[in-house]
């Protein structure tokens, strides 16, 4: 019998390439997954067993995130997948680009973590899983704004793990390299896609971190680089 999660879980960014795989893994593990989306609920989520879609949620807006978590049933885990990548040399990186990268990567994660901790305290404990990136641990040239934002997600994860360590709340992040999604393949057609980590593989790492099988690990930035 594989890893099981019994109870309610929220997954942000579940409509994306990695999100679909994580949602599949969590539903298969027995979780009831609450899935916020920015606009209207897509047909792929509506009516799906084990999935509770929530429309019109802006995860970069403080009030919107507060309302989202306040309306949820008691949680056992909160998984934060929302993020975005924009690569520019530093000389071409405007304040607008930096703000955009900080908003979609750091602000969404910070607000979701803050409200998740409040919710998990009410539940008596649980798990938080964020998504960082390999660049925060192994920097590369040409993406300073993205690297700074994901580095902040890693620092946030470690800081929160220390803050709630005695409360039964474990906080971790996975740090993938380039994920093997159709969008990334289209953007880099000449790359060796076989070496990229697959969404289903990353989903299994996230599933374990979000489950009670993970009884000790907290504050970890788990490298999930595939064969890259």
**Alpha-carbon gap, residue 43 to 193, rounded angstroms:** 29
Report which secondary-structure segment, H or E, holds 49: none
Determine whether 85 is an active site residue. no
Q: How many beta carbons lie within 10 A of that of residue 152, not counting itself?
A: 19
- In what order do the strands lie in the sheet containing 51-54? 51-54, 31-36, 7-12, 75-80, 126-131, 169-176, 221-224
**Alpha-carbon gap, residue 104 to 87, rounded angstroms:** 14
**Alpha-carbon gap, residue 224 to 115, rounded angstroms:** 26
Q: How many beta carbons lie within 10 A of that of residue 4, not counting itself?
A: 13
Nearest to 211, CA basis, from 79, 51, 13:
79
Give the active site residue among 146, 150, 157, 205.
146
**Alpha-carbon gap, residue 192 to 57, rounded angstroms:** 36
**Alpha-carbon gap, residue 180 to 227, rounded angstroms:** 11
Q: Which residues contact 146 (CB under 8 A, 6 or more apart)?
A: 85, 86, 87, 101, 105, 133, 135
For residue 3, how far is the Cα from the chain centroid?
A: 19
Give catalytic residue positions.
146
């Amino acid at each position: 019998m594989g890893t099981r999660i019994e109870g309610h879980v929220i997954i942000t960014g579940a409509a994306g390439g990695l999100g679909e795989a994580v949602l599949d893994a969590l539903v298969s593990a027995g979780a009831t997954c609450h899935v916020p989306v920015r606009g209207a609920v897509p047909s792929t989520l509506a009516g799906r067993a084990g999935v509770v879609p929530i429309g019109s949620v802006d995860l970069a807006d403080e009030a919107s995130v507060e309302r989202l978590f306040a309306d949820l049933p008691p949680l056992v885990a909160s998984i934060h997948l929302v993020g975005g990548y924009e690569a520019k040399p530093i000389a071409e990186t405007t304040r607008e680009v930096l703000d955009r990268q900080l908003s979609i990567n750091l602000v969404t994660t910070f607000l979701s973590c803050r409200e998740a901790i409040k919710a998990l305290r009410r539940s008596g404990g649980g798990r938080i899983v964020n998504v960082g990136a390999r660049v925060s641990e192994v920097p590369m040239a040409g993406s300073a704004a993205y690297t700074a934002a994901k580095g902040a997600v890693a620092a946030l994860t470690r800081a929160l793990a220390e803050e709630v360590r005695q409360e039964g709340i474990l906080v971790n992040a996975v740090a993938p390299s380039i994920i093997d999604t159709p969008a990334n393949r289209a953007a880099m057609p000449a790359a060796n896609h076989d070496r990229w980590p697959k969404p289903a593989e990353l989903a299994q790492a996230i599933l374990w971190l979000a489950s009670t099988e993970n009884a000790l690990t907290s504050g970890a930035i788990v490298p999930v680089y595939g064969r890259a």
